[in-house]
Amino acid sequence: MIMSEQQFNLMKVIYNGLFLDFPLKYREAACKEFSWSIPTFYRKMRKSRRSLELVGGFSIAEWQILEQIGHNVITNLTQAYQTEMTKYKRLLDNNNRNI
């Protein structure tokens, strides 16, 4: 069986798997961690009028948690991307052998 372009489009895999998923996964993880609703998440993203002692309107602890959430989301998406790419490379190798 030869894989068609519809079955595998590298640009689509990269764009959808990494760049479209990141904001959604980050929002989901932050909302879960802090028990925020989606509107609260977006309100928190707006520029804060709070004290300059806080990092972007967040305490240092909150800032560190948000940073860790971002790191975890990127790591998980990268691992999922690498798994998908390994699968597709195997399919491509098998298709090339069958030609």
Report the pLDDT value the prediction gives residue 52, as an integer from 0 to 100. 53
pLDDT of residue 76: 93
Q: Identify which of 21, 2, 8, 6 has the alpha carbon closest to the alpha carbon of residue 85.
A: 8
Phi, psi for 69 (deg, rounded to 5): -60, -45
Specify the pLDDT at position 2: 47
Q: Which residues of the chain have pLDDT under 50?
A: 1-3, 5
Q: CA-CA distances (angstroms) from residue 37 to 2, 32, 79, 87, 95? A: 46, 9, 28, 36, 47
For residue 1, the model assigns a pLDDT of 41
Q: What is the pLDDT of residue 55?
A: 58
Its pTM stands at 0.73
